Amino acid sequence: MHGTLLEPTLYTVKGIAVLDNDGNRILAKYYDKNIFPSAKEQKAFEKNLYNKTHRANAEIIMLDGMTCVYKSNVDLFFYVMGSSHENELILMNVLTSFYDSISQILRKNVEKRAVLDSLDICMLALDEICDGGIIVDVDSSSVVSRVALRSDDIPLGEQTVAQVLQSAKEQLKWSLLK
């Protein structure tokens, strides 16, 4: 065997990005400062990545010594990057979890406008899945439950009767305590 064996590491993910259909960044988080020391390198890599993948009909690409798995939907491209020796199935599992979490948060309306409107919750979901390059959770339903919207944020028409009654009780309680 010619190459040296690498020690196993928990730092699996090098970066996660969401780009629009023009290749512009919507959301991105990079975990390896050696590969992506500044925003300039990140943007250059994203542009190159988008140019190589926006017409492709695949799910994986090797680019600049990185294994990148990706998925497109309507006007967004979701990417998860790992080192060249990383297991593609693990990276794909992170991508699927991230995409499914965003889909549940946005109630299956995964498009640029919806992601921008809920960017704070999407970023929380990203942080729940991966922390510093270490995969924390890939169960999309548990990720969504941890970043769940408070019941006050849910439109009245989409709340259950129990949620509406609970909200009314809370408001009445606070009005009486004032």
- pLDDT single digits (tens) 83-129: 988 889 999 999 999 999 999 988 888 888 988 988 889 999 999 99
pLDDT (tens, 9 = 90+) of the chain, 178 residues, equals 445 666 777 888 999 999 999 989 999 999 989 888 889 999 999 999 999 988 888 899 998 889 999 998 888 999 999 998 888 999 999 999 999 999 998 888 888 898 898 888 999 999 999 998 899 988 988 888 888 765 455 555 555 676 677 777 777 777 777 6
Domain residue spans in the chain? 13-147, 151-178
Write out the two tokens for 83: 């080192």
- pLDDT for 1: 44
CA quadruple 29, 31, 37, 43: dihedral positive or negative? negative
For 13-147, give the CATH class. alpha beta
pTM greater than 0.85: no
Task: Give burial (CB, 10 Å; 0-12/13-18/19+) of 92.
Answer: middle
Q: 92, 106, 126: which is closest to 18 by C-alpha? A: 126
